[in-house]
Each structure stands twice: as structure tokens, then as C-alpha cells.
Structure 1
Amino acid sequence: MIAGAETYRIATFAAPLSRDGPGLLLRDLLKGEDAQIAAIASVIDHVDPDILVLTDFDYDLEGRALTAFAAQFGDRYPHRFARRPNTGMATGLDLDQNGRTGEARDAQGYGRFAGDGGMAILSAWAIDAAAMVDHSTLLWRDLPDASFPRTVEGEPFLPKEEQAIQRLSHAGHWIVPIDLQGDGHVNILAFAATPPVFDGPEDRNGLRNRDELRLWEVVLDGGFGPPPERFVVAGNANLDPLAGDGLSDAMAAFLARPDLQDPLPSLPTADWADDGPGDLRVSYVLPSTDWRVVDAGVFWPAPDAADATLLGEDGLSAGVHHLVWVDITRQSR
């Protein structure tokens, strides 16, 4: 280990910071009376990450909601980043092929309004927005070996007109460099994939979910230019490597990549009902092998633990998803 090397805590949280319409999240933040927001903020304050990827945060053009949310932590996160997500981005086409247009599932990514349930990054360190790489506009058909859905008769589920505009990313795929001052930088590979459910026998969402993960594989294999170095993949893959709906083999294969480290194998990150999906691992923080993992965890305290009060009596005050964090430092030379 390098003497005096800095340790950085990277986290992701699929906290439910989306509301039923544009501007409502900002309204709730400014009123300061929302118990769920208070619980979410308490969890973040307790875990105290240096860099946090939020994967269910409503986007607004001027970033007012993100600024208001960051203000709850004083000067802890002076640097913030968000871009317009694909969620709620209207297409004017019938992407789910139900005979109607203008619905939430007809947007580039499921969304009731533009910016619904997007992504955001809070950072204690400077974000190099000018060097950020955005793969969110990549068309699904342009992913090498894309797995387009087909009807039960074997025909393409999406007509050519829809294929010509359908983006792969449900919310976004960002490579965001963060300057660690004298310690170089870390590239945050942030994403939030579509749930692999809520479709029909064509498995449109399941196939898209898998290809959203495969996009990172193509990026890391150099398919879209030089692969990023000193990176951390962080976000909600909406896919468990062993259980639940979705093409789990894809997640298992991704976790086995030789350029990734998986500090938390087999730990669930979401607390869905036992008569539903149950406990699944869907959120991930995966450092590249350029880093040394110091510690890692999922904030899911035992019911009798002192910090369990942050999650309320039912453990769900901050939502069904739990914050995932990993501490990293430079590799020894």
C-alpha cells in the first residue's frame, strides 16, 4: 500500500427521488416535510460517500432539485452532475406496440414526463464535465450483436421506423471523470437499466436490459474507442446474477470479467416483498482492477442494530433499494 494513500468511498443508491410530475420533487425538497426524503438523506449522511450515483432522481433543466437535495448535506457535495435522461423523452411513436402513442412506455425510456426518474451524481471532488462521454444516444440497433425482440411468429417486434429512433439506454450510460486532485482521476461509469419485466412474450424489456449491460462490455472491450482506465461501474442494473426475472447469465458473466472486481458477491440490495421478487441484488459498485478495494457494504442493518432506526420500523422508510458502497485506494506500485 502507498503510504498516506487516500481512500475514496464510491456509492450508488436507487433511492425513490422521483415524483408524479415535473417540479414536484423540487417542491417537496423545498417544503422540507417529506419523511421519505428525510430518511434517504439520513442514510446518505450516515454512510457518507465521497461520490454518490443516484439512479431514480427527477431531472430538471436548471438542476434546481439536485441543488436543493445537495444542500441538505451542507458543503459535503459542492460538485454535482446530471444530464437529461432518456426517461420520459417523447418519441411520437408506439414503441410498446399497444396501438396507442404518447404513453410512458412510448418514451425513449419509461417515463411519465421528461426527466422522470433520471440519474445524478454528487461528488466531494471536481467533476470534469467537459471530458464526460455520453453513450445515452446510442441506438439499440447500433449495438454490436443487438438482441432485438421478436414476435411469437418470429417477426421483428419493432417496425423499422421505431428501430430507427429507439435508443438503447433506458435512462443513460455516462462515463464521468472525477478529478481526485493529486491522486489522478476516477471514471464513473453510471447507468440505470430498464427493469426486465412489464412486457410480453417478445421480452422487449428483458432483452433491452441485457443489452444495456452489454453496452458496458463493448465500451470496456474498446468497441467505441480506447476503454476507460481507473473506472468504477456504479448504478442499478436491475438484474440479479442468480435469481429473479431477467437474463441472469448476462449479469453473472459481467461480474466475472477479468478487468472488474466484485467486492460484494451474493449480497442482496433490494427488499421486495416475499410474494413478489423477494430480496435481489440489482445495484452495483464495481471497481476496475486499477484500484485496491479496502472495504465494501450494503446499508442494510439488522433490525436490532442502532442504525436500523434510519430505515424506520418496517425497514422501508428510504425505499426498497439499499445504498451500496465501496472504499477504494490506489494500487501499490
Structure 2
Amino acid sequence: MMPCWPLKTLPILTRAAGVALLLLVAAVAHPADADTPIRIATYDPGLSRKGPGLLLRDITKGAPQVIAAAQVIAAAQPDIILLTGIDWDADNRALTAFATLLRDQGLDLPHHFAARPNSGMATGLDLDQDGRLGEADDAQGWGQFTGQNGMAVLSRLPIAGVTDYSDVLWRDLPGNLMPATPDAIARTQRLSSTAHWDLRIQTAGGPLHLLAWAATPPVFDGPEDRNGRRNHDEAAFWLTHLPDAPFVLLGNPNLDLIDGEGRPDAMQRLIARAQDPGPRGDWQPPQTGANAAQRGDPALDTASFDAESPGNLRVDYILPATSLVVTDSGVLWPAPDDPLAPAVEAASDHRLVWVDVIYP
């Protein structure tokens, strides 16, 4: 019988063990019809707080923002969803509680995975070299406590295994753009500001690889452009780690290729290696303030940021392999008179993005 781990953290598999498990997965039939589209989503639901345990408290209390996030996800009815922007705890109590809340909203996603993110992971070093230790900027990824602003995957389909690349050092990425860095820091600094995961999902047609990440914003630094360089390299990592099997790149690369700051080369090369369905929202807010000067199609935007700067941007992506058949896609951005609109506004400044694919 194929093992699955409902509502528990999955074991991290070695790459060799993952290959062996894929062979087992291929031999196991799944009751779902292979011709039925799989809805894959990515969303930053705003489930990060300023201290450990606070997210679980808010979920348990039924805080309005948490309820709104659950309503948005339930409305989209994904088969698989990557959450970027959810706090991690060692026992996955918050994620388990949120999965229960989703089930109460009519969406049962019994399989999930979460692991300690790099955000908030203390290094003991002065990474930003400002003469002070123990600050959020001195963690592997910006964070006030370990687990802040992590990632999680919830799925209707079994998760066959995970390869976690989050401990890869930035300096070890071939062709990296890491600026000049003291050796002690270079020997410690990881590439991932949050995480890089390859999750293998068991589908009726075979294993589907979800290549998930959430990158640092390419701003909030100085002339050395450390964040811009790291943002670029977090996307560039996947250029050397695309599997031969069908895959979906998804997450929050934190980069608008037209209207945002940053270095677009790596994301452009990823898109060239996959396909961009260009998910679109049903409604866009008035294009005033910073939005009025933008050149990109506002229907592609996935986040509603400050109206004066930077405005609304496309920072959340789902990029299926060319071997997958895309049947539909969208950005959950309803008009103000839509019954779901209040929940979308209350939950997060990001919008849920979804793509329907058929396994080849």
C-alpha cells in the first residue's frame, strides 16, 4: 500500500530515496480520473504574525482575517495549494488547525507538508554587517522568530515525497550573483530566503513535481543590491533543478517582470523552459496613483500594494511544464459587489492564483 501522511509533516527524502519512491508511485493506481483537470493554486494568505504561537491563537479564536483567508481558499476549490506567508511551528499545530478550518468551509485537503523555513532562522552572525547581532536581518531569511512567514502545501492528492533544497549555500549556486561577502558569512549564508521544495504529488497519471519557493523582495538594500541579486538567484536555482518528469513551478518569486524592481533574467529563462498561462483576474481596481504609470496588463496583477508606490504588481506565479495541458487559469480578484470581495480584501494584499492542468 502506498504510504501517505495525512495532517502530519512528511519525512524529507533523500534524492536517491525519492527516485525509488517515484517508481512505487507509478505502479499505484489513484481513483481520480486521469483526464480530470487538477487545480493547482498559490496564495499568500497573510497568515504570519509578529511572534511564535500567535497564528495558532488567532486560528483557534476564529480571528476575522483568518476566517477570510479560509473563505478565499475554499471559494477557489484547489486540489493542491502552496501557501506562502504562513508561520511554521515544530508540531505543525497551526497548519493542522487551519486545515481543519478549511474543512469546515467545505474544502478537505487531508495531505500537507511544511518544514522549518530559513526565514527567522538565527545564524549567530552579523549578516547585514551593521554591528548588531540577533536582528531579523541576521537570520538566514528576514524574520523576527524562527518559522515566521514560512510555506506550506495542502493537497487532496497524496504527497509521495519531498526533497528540501533549503540548506543549499548561496555561494554554491553555479554562476551566482552573490556580492563580495566575508568568508565566515559566505560559509553560512543559504540561498533560500524562505525555502526551495520539490514535492512529488501522486496523480492518476503519475508523479507531478511541485517546485515551490518564495523569494526575498529585490528591494530594501543598498547599492550592493544584495536582495536584488538573491531574488534573481532564488529563481535561477530551478534552472539547474528542473526534473524530466512533469512539473509545476509555483510560489512568490516577488518579481514583476514589467513594472517591478529587480533582475528579470532568471525568471524570463524559467518561463522559456515552461509555459505561462497568464492567469487573469475578473476585475482590476482603478489604475490611479502608481498604477497609472505602469506598462503591464493590470489583469495579470496578483497583489494590491501601496497605491502610491509600488502599486499593484504580478509577483505570484504558476508555471506548468510544457508537457502539461492547461485548461483554465485565473486570479481570484472579484469586483467590489461580488459576495467574496470583502473576504479577499480582508485576508491579504495578495490574490490567490490558480491553474487547471491535465497530466499528459
TM over 0.5: yes
Percent identical residues = 52
Q: Which residue of 2 aligns with 1:89?
A: 121
2:328 aligned residue = 295
One-letter identity of the residue aligned with 2:305: W
Q: Are residue 310 (structure 1) and residue 339 (structure 2) matched?
A: no
Q: Which SS does the other structure have where 1:71 is aligned?
A: helix
What pairs with 1:20-169 in structure 2 (closer than 5 Å)? 20-32=50-62, 34-74=63-103, 76-129=108-161, 132-149=162-179, 156=180, 158-169=181-192
Unmatched segments (≥5 aa) in structure 1: 150-155, 221-226
> 1:270 is paired with a residue of what secondary structure?
coil
Matched to 2:194, the amino acid is A
Partner residue, 2:220: 198
Once residues 102 and 126 of structure 2 are traced to their aligned partners in structure 1, the CA distance between those partners, rounded to angstroms, is 42
Secondary structure of the structure 1 residue equivalent to 2:39: strand
Write out aligned runs for 1:215-234 (5 A).
Answer: 215-220=237-242, 227-234=243-250
Q: What is the Cα-based RMSD across aligned positions, in Å?
A: 1.4
In structure 2, C-alpha distance between the alignment counterparts of 1:242 and 1:124, rounded to whole Å: 34
Residue 4 to residue 164, structure 1, CA distance change in 2 (3 Å)? closer
Structure 2 contact 72–340 (Cα < 8 Å) conserved: no
1:183 is paired with a residue whose SS is coil
Match of 2:194 in 1: 171
Count of residue pairs brought into register by the alignment: 306
Letter in 2 for 1:263: P
Q: Which residue of 1 aligns with 2:229?
A: 207
Q: For 2:86 and 2:102, locate their aligned partners in 1 and report how far apart those are by CA, in whole Å.
A: 17
Supply the AA of the counterpart residue of 1:118: G
Letter in 1 for 2:156: A
Could you tell me how far 1:97 is from its partner in structure 2? 1.2
CA distance in 2, matches of 1:330, 1:143: 31
Matches of 2:170 and 2:256, distance apart in 1:
22
1:12-27 alignment runs, 5 A limit: 12-27=42-57
Deviations 1:172-194 (A, max 9, x none): 000000112x3212111111001
What SS is found at the alignment partner of 1:188? strand
CA distance in 2, matches of 1:253, 1:69: 35
Distance in 2 (CA, whole Å) between partners of 1:183 and 1:5 is 9
Q: Which residue number corresponds to residue 322 of structure 1?
A: 351
| Structure 2, unpaired ranges of 5+ | 1-32, 280-296
Alpha-carbon distance in 2 for matches of 1:280, 1:193 = 15
Within 2, Cα distance between the matches of 1:210 and 1:97? 22
Runs of 4+ in 1 over 4 A off after TM superposition: none
User: By how many angstroms is 1:241 displaced?
Assistant: 1.0
Q: Secondary structure at the match of 1:317?
A: helix
Contact kept in structure 2, 1:194 and 1:238, CA below 8 Å: yes
User: What is the aligned counterpart of 1:274 among 307, 311, 331?
Assistant: 307
1:5-55 Cα deviation digits (max 9, x unpaired): 1210000001110111111101111111x1111111110010010000001
Letter of the structure 1 residue corresponding to residue 183 of structure 2: K
| Separation in 2, partners of 1:76, 1:305 | 24
CA distance in structure 2 between the aligned counterparts of 1:279 and 1:218, rounded to whole angstroms: 31
**Cα-to-partner distance string for 1:259-280 (whole Å, 9 max, x where unaligned):** x110017511011122111111
Secondary structure of the residue aligned to 2:83 is: strand
TM-score (norm 1): 0.89
Q: 2 CA distance for matches of 1:212 and 1:143?
A: 9
1:279 alignment partner, SS class: coil
Could you tell me whether the CA contact under 8 Å between 1:92 and 1:106 is conserved in 2? Answer: yes
Question: CA-to-partner distance for each residue in 1:70-123, whole Å, 9 max, x for gaps?
Answer: 001226111010011111110000111111111001000111001011000000
Aligned mate of 2:206, from 184, 189, 193: 184
C-alpha separation between the residues in 2 aligned to 1:47 and 1:63?
24
Structure 2 counterpart SS, 1:73: helix
Q: Which one-letter code corresponds to 1:42 in the other structure?
A: Q
Confirm or deny that 1:264 pairs with 2:278. yes
Give the CA deviation at 1:4. 6.6
Shift, 1:306, TM fit? 4.1
State which drifts further: 96-105 or 264-273.
264-273
